[in-house]
């Protein structure tokens, strides 16, 4: 790509103010007849509010996108997530609640008052999941927003147990089909802060605390790892002094400090008893996303997209991205081998060369187990932003890539073929920005070869999102998630 075309990805950081419903999108190719479910996607879609802009990609106001498949056709609708934060921001003409890296303009009195009565955002722009059978939009607070699967209308907050408590959570719970629950964790800030792992039962009953751990300086952890028997907190050395955070009144992530001398710490807990099994320390590293984890030969294999430090956070500030500045931080798919006993040390090995982010696996079949395939977004050698979809075969080392000049695919969502017993048998779905045409399309491709199957043309440009969830139709059975 030459000249200005190389920075065409900046179109993915423009506002989308239009809400629409299209009963039948124009389709090129033929969608598999068994694809009869719904892809739900969330992501930032409004960055400019009144006369101000948010500071960071992660702070844009959330929009939901719904793609429904049936009989080879695709319907589409999009709607702002009308959360409390959204409504307050629209009334105020500026971001009303503190976000990831954006702090609302407040009077001195309001800033001091916020220390004693903090108001957390419910701007669910990070992920979609299902709590108690209901779809929810998530961000990194304890305010999951319920919404209607058909209309995308907000239905309120999913109730969280007082037993769990906490102040900050994550948008990447893990689902354990055998135990019929999701696992997540919260951070309780205080003089002696605490991590709390907790379970969210599938039947909608109250959440319960599984394990707790006291911590002096809590780490920023966007996700965590799960095997069949264990839950693992991967504590990166990007940490915060809770007192400093309360008194500094800076945007959330600006209170965290990179302290590589602390190293990378793995804390392992038994799922059923909550017992702290072991902790190990390795060389400092950072990650947003875990890929998968499993047990083998008395050790844990923990796979994540790893960076040498937390500089990737600063590279995703909105002003940089809109100016076409390159995202040069390279996430490397890496496997950590963590002993389950006191002896031995943590080792790390690369799983493949090249950039990978927003990883997905055949989750319902392989979560917490040994696995063969992973998918994610990649970046070509001269690319400035995520510009391709990558499939990695961990058994053979083979790497497949989907790349089209001027196109920027979003997170690749794996959807299994109904009735198949083979890992990775299905399709990949991705929402793609076509920067040359100034619009977006939904792409379906073969999950192994990444060859094109069909695409549906969207009525407008869809800003770059973060994560999606696929809800199957009755014939399909399994929910593609994580």
Express each pLDDT in 327-353 by its tens digit. Answer: 999 999 999 999 999 989 999 999 998
The H-assigned helical ranges of 334-448 are 363-366
User: How far is it, in rounded angstroms, from Cα 379 to Cα 188?
Assistant: 37
List the single range of 97-101, 138-142, 168-172, 299-303 with lowest mean pLDDT. 97-101
User: How far is it, in rounded angstroms, from Cα 160 to Cα 146?
Assistant: 12
What is the arithmetic mean of pLDDT over 196-202? 96
CA-CA-CA-CA torsion sign (326, 327, 332, 338): positive
Portion of the chain with pLDDT greater than 70, in percent: 94
Residue 430 has pLDDT above 60, yes or no: yes
> What is the spatial order of strands in the sheet that 290-296 belongs to?
290-296, 299-306, 332-339, 347-350
Residue 274, sorted as left (phi over 0), alpha (psi -120 to 50) or beta, turns out to be: left
Q: Supply the pTM of this predicted model.
A: 0.94
Residue 43 has pLDDT above 90, yes or no: yes
User: How far is it, in rounded angstroms, from Cα 51 to Cα 424?
Assistant: 47
Q: pLDDT of 8-31, one tens digit each?
A: 999 999 999 999 999 999 999 999
Q: pLDDT of 95-135, one tens digit each?
A: 988 899 998 654 433 444 444 445 689 999 999 999 988 99
Residue 248 has pLDDT above 80, yes or no: no
Cβ neighbours for 447, distance < 8 A, ≥ 6 positions apart: 373, 375, 391, 414, 424, 425, 426, 427, 428
Count of beta carbons in the 10 Å neighbourhood of residue 273: 10
User: How far is it, in rounded angstroms, from Cα 27 to Cα 86?
Assistant: 33
The DSSP code sequence of 7-75 is: GGGGGGGS------EESS--EEE---TT--SEEEEEEEEE-EETTEE-SBGGGSEEEEEEEEEETTEEE
The DSSP code sequence of 301-317 is: EEEEEEBSSSHHHHHTB
What is the structure's pLDDT at 119?
A: 63
Count of beta carbons in the 10 Å neighbourhood of residue 32: 17
Q: Which two tokens stand for residue 242?
A: 């809770």
What is the structure's pLDDT at 350?
A: 97
Portion of the chain with pLDDT greater than 90, in percent: 86
What is the arithmetic mean of pLDDT over 469-479? 72
Residue 479 has pLDDT above 80, yes or no: no
* Closest by Cα among 120, 63, 126, 127 to 96: 120
Q: Which two tokens stand for residue 107?
A: 């009077």
Q: pLDDT of 379-417, one tens digit each?
A: 999 999 999 999 999 999 999 999 999 999 999 999 999
Q: Which two tokens stand for residue 146?
A: 């319920």
Q: pLDDT of 82-105, one tens digit each?
A: 999 999 999 999 898 889 999 865
User: How far is it, in rounded angstroms, from Cα 283 to Cα 265?
Assistant: 9
List the single range of 237-251, 274-288, 374-388 with lowest mean pLDDT. 237-251
Residue 176 has pLDDT above 70, yes or no: yes
CB-based contact 473:67 (threshold 8 Å):
no
């Amino acid at each position: 790509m030459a000249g200005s075309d190389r920075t065409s990805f900046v179109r993915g950081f423009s506002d989308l103010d239009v809400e629409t419903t299209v009963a039948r999108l124009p389709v090129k190719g033929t969608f598999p007849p068994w694809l009869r479910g719904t892809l739900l996607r969330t992501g930032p879609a409004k960055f400019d509010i009144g006369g101000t802009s948010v500071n960071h990609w992660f702070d844009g106001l959330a929009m939901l996108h719904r793609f429904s498949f049936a009989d080879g056709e695709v319907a589409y609708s999009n709607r702002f997530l009308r959360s409390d934060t959204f409504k307050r921001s629209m009334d105020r003409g500026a971001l009303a609640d503190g976000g990831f890296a954006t702090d609302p303009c407040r009077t001195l009195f309001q800033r001091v008052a916020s220390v004693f009565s903090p108001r957390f955002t419910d701007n669910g722009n990070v992920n979609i999941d299902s709590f108690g059978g209901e779809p929810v939009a998530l961000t990194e607070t304890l305010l999951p927003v319920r919404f209607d699967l058909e209309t995308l209308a907000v239905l309120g907050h999913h109730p969280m147990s007082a037993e769990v408590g906490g102040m900050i959570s994550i948008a990447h719970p893990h689902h354990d089909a055998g135990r019929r629950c999701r696992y997540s964790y919260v951070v309780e800030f205080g003089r002696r802060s605490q991590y709390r792992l907790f379970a969210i039962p599938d039947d909608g009953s109250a959440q319960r605390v599984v394990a707790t751990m006291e911590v002096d300086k809590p780490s920023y952890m966007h996700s965590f790892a799960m095997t069949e028997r264990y839950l693992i907190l991967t504590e990166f050395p990007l940490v915060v002094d809770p007192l400093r955070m309360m008194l500094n009144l800076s945007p959330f992530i600006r209170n965290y400090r990179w302290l590589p001398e602390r190293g990378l710490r793995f804390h392992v807990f038994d799922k059923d008893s909550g017992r702290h099994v072991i902790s190990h320390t390795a060389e400092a590293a950072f990650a947003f996303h875990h890929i998968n984890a499993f047990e083998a030969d008395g050790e844990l294999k923990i796979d994540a997209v790893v960076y040498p430090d937390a500089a990737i956070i600063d590279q995703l500030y909105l002003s940089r991205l809109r100016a076409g500045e390159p995202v040069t931080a390279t996430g490397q798919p890496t496997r950590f081998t963590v002993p389950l006993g006191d002896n031995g040390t943590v080792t790390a090995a690369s799983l493949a060369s090249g950039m990978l982010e927003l990883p997905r696996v055949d989750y319902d079949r392989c979560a917490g187990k040994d696995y063969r395939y992973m998918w994610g977004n990649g970046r070509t050698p001269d690319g400035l932003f995520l510009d391709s979809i990558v499939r990695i075969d961990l058994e053979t080392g083979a790497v497949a890539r989907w790349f089209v000049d001027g196109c920027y695919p979003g997170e690749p969502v794996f959807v299994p073929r109904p009735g198949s017993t083979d890992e990775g048998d299905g399709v990949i779905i991705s929402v793609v920005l076509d920067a040359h045409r100034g619009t977006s399309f939904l792409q379906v491709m073969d999950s192994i070869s990444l060859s094109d199957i069909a695409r549906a043309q969207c009525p407008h440009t869809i800003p770059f999102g973060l994560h999606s969830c696929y809800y199957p139709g009755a014939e399909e059975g399994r929910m593609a998630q994580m």
